[in-house]
Every structure is written in C-alpha cells, then in structure tokens.
C-alpha cells in the first residue's frame, strides 16, 4: 500500500513560507500531478516527500508510517530529476543499476533487472553507450529505467520533460502514462505545464503561493474551476475574462459592460446570479466557446457580440483569433473555414451554456457544481479547512464517475411513477396517457 498523505505541512525559510498548511492525500496507484507557476511550491512539496528538504511543521506519511525523520534512502521512493542526473563516465547499464549496486545486490540479479527495465522502455540497444552518446529523450528513458529497477512504492518525477523538444515531450508523455499503467505504482509528478497535467493525471492539485487552490480530476477542474486563478491556469489557451455588471430580473438576466456588450444568461445559471444584480462580476469564457457565426455547434445557446480581429493564427485544424473589444484583448478558437481577416470587425457567437462567473472581490466561482448540474459526483465536497484554498471544491478518489446517489427508501404504498413509466411497454404508455386526457380537451385536440 503506497498511500501518501501530507498533513498540515509547512516549509519555511526564515520569513518565506514556501509551502503553507499543505494537506493532501494521494491514493495507492494514483497518478497525481502537482501543477502551478514557478514559485508556487510544487517542487518543494515533492522534495519534502523525497527527504531532500526538511519539514518545518506537519507530518508526511507513506502508507501508515510517518517519514519525517526517515533517511531518504530508506523511504522506498525513486525520483526522476529534470536534469536526468546520469553519471557521464558510466555506461547506460551501469547508470541504471547503480542504485542496486549500492544495496549490495548480486551482479546477476542487477543485470536481470536492468535488462527488464530496458526492455520496458525500449533502450536495450543503448545499454553499452555512455550518456554523452544519447539524445535527450534517450537520457530521460535511462533516468526512468534507473527508477524502475528499484521497484519503489512511490515514483517522484520533477519536471522530467522540460529539457525535451515538443515532439519528444508528446512521445515521452505517452510512455510515462503507459509505464504507470504497467507498474501499478503511485506516481507524483511536478510540472508547470498544464497540458502535461491534463493529459497524464488521474488527479491534479493546482498550487499557487504554496497553497493548494483546487484538487480534482482533469475534466472536473476544466469544467468547474474554483477561482479565477485555476480557471486561467487550466486550459490552453487560457480562459478569457471580462468585467461586467449583472442586470435584469429572474426572468431575464444579462451581463453588460461600458462598451455596449449585452449577453443574456441561460436560464439554468440565472439563480446563482440573483444576489449579484446591479453588481460587478468577472465573466469567463474559454476560447473554444467563442464561435464564428457560420460554424456554431448544434444545440448551443449562443449570444452575439462583435470585436476587431487583430491577428489570425492558422493552426491547421483550427484558427486562433486575437480579438479586441474596447480595451479588452481576448482569444477565440474557431473553425479553420472562418473568413475572419486581420484588421476587420466581425460578429462572433459566445456559447453561454459554458460561461463562468466569478465574484469580483474574492475571485471565487459563483457557479457551484450543484447549481450548474443537479447530478454531481457523490464524493464531491467543499475543501477541508486547511491545506486547500478557502472555498475550493475538491473530489476524492474515483471522482471521475458521476454515479447517481442511491434513492431514498420508498414510502409504503407509494408508487414510483418515473420507474413505472420506464418499465411500462410503449403501447401501454400511449393508451394510459390517452385515457388520462380530459374528454373536453381530447375533443378540442
């Protein structure tokens, strides 16, 4: 069992608090990604687990054992660094088996484990080479192989793809995901690249200023960001933000600004905005939810507005439009068949079904998951009082599912009409409903 648990952990350097009241549980066999900008404390949190930095306050558990005072070599972890940390004078074979030599393992067993790891990662033909004869991607696989042969309880990876080019990053990303599935071991991965986080993680913890902002599955964080920081950090390109005022009544709510913008709010989102009437909020919309009017996805509730096209970027399968409305610059991600031209004003359609709204002062989301979707994961809950930013929503293990909660026991003698309709043959449903129509109404029809 390789459950990892940070309990109210702090890391201080004099007056600087790098990790603040950090509380996080990583389940056995989880692939958790700590993501955030430079200086957010993500690498420090990983180094505290590895034993490379000391803990100022709090406890860290691996399984049921507190490891605060356990030497790094005795924590049963393996770490892959950004710089690979390979010995240049040793062959690939000796680099991979170096940790096993320190443990005084017999040579034949070391060779067997090295070859097995090399086969898993496809570096068997490279075992006799020196690191200087390898490409960046090959060196990274050697570093991964060195971690694999130890068969640790927990793998720690600190920005392992940062030194690779774009094509190799995509390839190695897939290899690490397959490796996690094959080994069935807990992985904790640190990166500043939210694309890596979204594509690899089973759970993501977003950090800023040493504090966890939100924890959840990649899709949940994308759909339900808890604050402006998470909304702007998760998703590529980043979410667009506009300062708007809420106007109207319960039947017709609009978002307006000083530049003539007026966007009607969908009915399912109006209730949450009632207390913000005539107040300023932050309206958020992702670039992929701003459409060329000629290519709006079907069954999308849209609202029109116009903007000036400053730059167009053809990506092949899509076009990025850099837009200007008043003094606000924003981005749209539209169909490649668009006729948008640089320097012209064009009408756009905003997919209001996917709008986001944030409190202007606190920057917390206004739309909680229950208000947006009645059927939310049953393990969804408000964040604990410590370790996660106040007001954040978090999901526990298995939160990717959207199971219905079990229905309450039925009262004696009460018929569940919905269930009856589902189980009743179609012909009988039609006949029953016709018999229920009042005679006068039937005549009128």
- Mean residue pLDDT across the chain: 84
pLDDT digits (tens, 9 = 90+) for 22-43: 999 999 999 999 999 999 999 9
- Lowest-confidence range among 64-78, 242-256, 413-427? 413-427
* Contact call for residues 78 and 152 (beta carbons, < 8 A): yes
The whole-angstrom separation of Cα 105 and Cα 249 is: 75
Identify whether the C-beta of residue 95 lies closer than 8 Å to the C-beta of residue 146: yes
114-151 burial code (b ≥16 CB/10 A, e <16): bbebbebbebbebbeebbeebeebbbbbbbbbbbbbbe
Same topology for domains 4-230 and 231-366, yes or no?
no
Superfamily of domain 4-230: P-loop containing nucleotide triphosphate hydrolases (3.40.50.300)
- SS percent in the chain: helix, strand, coil, step 5: 30, 30, 40
The answer to whether 265 and 352 are in contact (CB under 8 A) is: yes
Per-residue burial over 228-256, b = 16 or more CB atoms within 10 Å of its CB, e = otherwise: bbbbebbbeebbbbbebbbebeeeebbbe
Residue 40 DSSP symbol: S
CA neighbours within 13 Å on the CB side: how many for 369? 23
Domain ranges of the chain: 4-230, 231-366
- For the segment 103-119, the average pLDDT, to the nearest whole number, is 90
Helix (H, G, I), strand (E, B) or coil at 357: strand
Q: Which band of pLDDT confidence, cut at 50, 70 and 90, is reported for residue 334?
A: very high
Q: What is the pLDDT of residues 130-160, one digit of tens each?
A: 999 998 888 888 988 898 888 889 999 999 8
Q: Which of 74-78, 135-139, 147-151, 228-232 has the highest mean pLDDT?
A: 228-232
pLDDT at 106 (0 to 100) = 92
Q: How far from the centroid of its chain's Cα atoms is residue 179's Cα? A: 20
Q: Are strands 356-359 and 393-395 parallel, antiparallel or unpaired?
A: unpaired
Q: Taking residues 59-63, what's their average pLDDT?
A: 95
pLDDT at 172: 84
CA distances (Å), origin 231, targets 34, 200, 441? 16, 19, 52
Residue 326 pLDDT > 50: yes
**Residue indicated by tokens 């109006």:** 270
DSSP letter for each residue of 50-108 = HTSS--SEEEEEETTEE-TTS-GGGS-EEEE-TT----TTS-HHHHHTHHHHHTT--HH
Class of domain 231-366: mainly beta
* Rounded CA separation 244/246 (Å): 7
């Amino acid at each position: 069992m390789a459950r990892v648990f940070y309990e109210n952990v702090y890391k201080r350097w004099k007056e600087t608090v790098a990790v603040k009241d950090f509380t996080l549980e990583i389940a056995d066999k989880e692939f958790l990604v700590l993501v955030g900008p430079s200086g957010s404390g993500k690498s420090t949190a990983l180094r505290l687990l590895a034993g490379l930095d000391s803990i100022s306050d709090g406890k860290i558990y691996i399984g049921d054992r507190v490891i605060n005072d356990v030497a790094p070599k005795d924590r049963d972890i393996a770490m892959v660094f950004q710089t690979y940390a390979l010995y240049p004078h040793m062959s690939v074979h000796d680099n991979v088996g170096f940790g096993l030599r320190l443990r005084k393992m017999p040579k034949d067993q070391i060779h067997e484990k090295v070859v097995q790891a090399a086969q898993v990662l496809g570096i068997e033909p490279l075992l006799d080479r020196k690191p200087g004869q390898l490409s960046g991607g090959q060196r990274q696989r050697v570093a991964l192989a060195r971690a694999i042969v130890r068969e640790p309880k927990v793998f720690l990876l600190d920005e392992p793809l940062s030194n690779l080019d774009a094509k190799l990053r995509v390839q190695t990303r897939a290899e690490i995901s397959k490796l996690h599935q094959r080994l069935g071991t807990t992985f904790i991965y640190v990166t500043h690249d939210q694309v890596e986080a979204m594509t690899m993680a089973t759970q993501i913890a977003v950090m800023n200023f040493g504090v966890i902002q939100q924890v959840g599955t990649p899709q949940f964080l994308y759909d339900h960001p808890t604050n402006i920081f998470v909304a702007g950090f998760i998703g590529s390109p980043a979410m667009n933000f506009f300062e708007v005022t809420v106007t109207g009544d319960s039947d017709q709510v609009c978002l307006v600004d000083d530049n003539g913008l007026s966007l009607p709010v969908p009915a399912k989102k109006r209730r949450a905005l009632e207390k913000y009437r005539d107040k300023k909020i932050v309206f958020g919309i992702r670039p992929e939810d701003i459409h060329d009017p000629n290519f709006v996805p079907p069954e999308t509730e849209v609202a029109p507005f116009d903007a000036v096209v400053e730059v167009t970027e053809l990506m092949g399968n899509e076009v990025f439009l850099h837009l200007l409305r008043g003094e606000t610059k924003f981005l749209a991600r539209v169909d490649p068949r668009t006729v948008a031209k640089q320097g012209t004003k064009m009408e756009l359609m905003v997919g209001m079904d996917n709008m986001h709204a944030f409190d202007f002062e606190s920057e917390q989301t206004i739309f909680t998951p229950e208000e947006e979707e009645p059927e939310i994961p049953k393990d969804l809950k408000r964040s604990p009082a410590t370790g996660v930013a106040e007001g954040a929503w978090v999901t526990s293990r298995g939160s990717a599912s959207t199971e219905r909660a079990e229905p309450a026991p039925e009262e004696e003698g009460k018929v569940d009409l919905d269930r009856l309709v589902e189980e009743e043959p179609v012909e009988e449903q039609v006949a029953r409903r016709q018999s229920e129509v009042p005679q006068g109404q039937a005549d009128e029809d």
